[in-house]
């Protein structure tokens, strides 16, 4: 491949990936299916279900056209291959063209099937039909969903490709090609996984994401997973009627203090350990009076006479958890991005120390 082909291929690959997964920059520029076809899709707030019936169909069709768009572009980027004449094009390109035409053709057939009988065959419509009363149809359920979505007290979070919406009656997950719906009174919710990330891309702070399994008692409704920030867990629980169970291995940190305490602990554990003299007996932590004293403040971040930190001469009197809580309590809650790099006074002698000076006892 010569330079124009390589350049176009790389550029189109980046465009295709961004068009499918839509980063913030593409959303800001309006390069999304929802924005480009907004006139036909209508308003999500005005009619949630009809909007997503059309959106999922349009998204499927637009994404299926991407390979064909690449082929058309290559007709100009590699004109010497005569790709605009399929009969004269190399065999590999002929097979690619066949695939590029088959994908949107298949998508059109599927969308036509969905749209029959006023979208009654769409997966979303079929799911809603599972909750319809015998004397009504899926459109009555859709009207209920539309009405509840318009309320301002709904819970909504997540990226555009994986939004989580909880109303008074419904738990929904909106993805690129599908809308999962379950009725609150029929669901069993279980926190199956928690993942800790040291830095959030939005705030440069530690963040925890929870994965919650939503399983409906209706065997015809498929279970699905929702993912959200643990800081939003409390708000979600307030909106849900059903309790959320947690797997035995899952620990949920609902506050910034909880997240900081876990990060504080992990950082202290890699600091040099402090050896207690054999003649010294460790007492109970004076903070909680439950655990045994487990940390000693030893200036290790810099030389003894350098920097802002000071040497602490107190004997070990605090457990790691209480020391972490003390460290967090001395921080500015309006600027959590400064917590890890800050210095605080010793709880007893007031000598200033940083996280690097907190040593576990061995």
Domain ranges in the chain? 3-125, 152-254, 259-360
pLDDT over threshold 80, residue 337: no
pLDDT over threshold 50, residue 330: yes
Q: Which pTM value belongs to this model?
A: 0.72
Max Cα separation, the chain?
91
Burial of 211 (0-12, 13-18, 19+ CB in 10 A): middle
pLDDT over threshold 90, residue 335: no
Burial of 153 (0-12, 13-18, 19+ CB in 10 A): exposed
- Residue pLDDT, tens place only, 175-186: 999 999 999 998
E strand intervals along 167-232: 170-175, 179-183, 187-197, 207-216, 224-229
Question: Residue 278 has what pLDDT?
Answer: 81
- Residue pLDDT, tens place only, 55-111: 999 999 999 999 999 988 888 887 777 777 877 777 888 899 999 999 999 999 999
- Secondary structure of residue 332 in the 3-state scheme: coil
Confidence category of residue 1, pLDDT binned at 50, 70, 90: very low
Confidence category of residue 205, pLDDT binned at 50, 70, 90: low
Was domain 152-254 assigned CATH 3.40.980.10? no
Check: CB of residue 165 under 8 Å from CB of residue 48.
Answer: no
């Amino acid at each position: 491949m010569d330079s124009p082909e390589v350049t176009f291929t790389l550029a189109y690959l980046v465009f295709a990936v961004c068009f499918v997964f839509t980063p913030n920059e593409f959303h800001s520029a309006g390069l999304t299916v929802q924005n480009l076809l907004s006139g036909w899709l209508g308003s999500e707030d005005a009619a949630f279900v009809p909007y997503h019936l059309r959106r999922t169909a349009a998204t499927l069709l637009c994404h299926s056209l991407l390979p064909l768009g690449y082929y058309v572009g290559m007709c100009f980027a590699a004109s010497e291959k005569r790709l605009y004449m399929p009969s004269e094009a190399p065999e590999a390109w002929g097979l690619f063209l066949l695939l590029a035409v088959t994908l949107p053709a298949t998508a059109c057939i599927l969308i036509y099937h969905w749209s029959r009988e006023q979208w009654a065959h769409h997966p979303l419509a079929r799911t809603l039909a599972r909750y319809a009363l015998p004397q009504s149809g899926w459109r009555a359920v859709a009207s209920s969903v539309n009405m509840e979505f318009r309320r301002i007290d709904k819970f909504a979070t997540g990226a555009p490709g994986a939004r989580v919406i909880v109303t008074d009656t419904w738990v929904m997950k909106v993805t690129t090609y599908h809308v999962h719906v379950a009725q609150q009174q029929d669901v069993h919710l279980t926190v199956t996984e928690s993942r800790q990330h040291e830095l959030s891309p939005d705030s440069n702070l530690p963040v925890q994401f929870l994965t919650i399994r939503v399983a409906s008692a209706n065997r015809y409704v498929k279970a699905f997973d929702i993912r959200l920030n643990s800081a939003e867990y409390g708000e979600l629980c307030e909106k849900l009627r059903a309790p959320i169970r947690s797997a035995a291995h899952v620990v949920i940190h609902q506050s910034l203090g909880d997240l900081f305490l876990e990060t504080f602990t992990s950082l202290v554990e890699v600091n040099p350990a402090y050896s207690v003299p054999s003649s010294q007996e460790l007492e109970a932590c004076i903070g909680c009076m439950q655990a045994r004293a487990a940390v000693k403040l030893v200036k290790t971040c810099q030389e003894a006479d350098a920097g802002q930190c000071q040497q602490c001469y107190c004997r070990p009197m605090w457990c790691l958890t209480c020391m972490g809580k003390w460290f967090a309590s001395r921080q500015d809650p309006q600027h959590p991005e400064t917590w890890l790099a800050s210095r605080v006074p010793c709880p007893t002698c007031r000598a200033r120390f940083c996280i690097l000076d907190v040593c576990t006892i061995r």
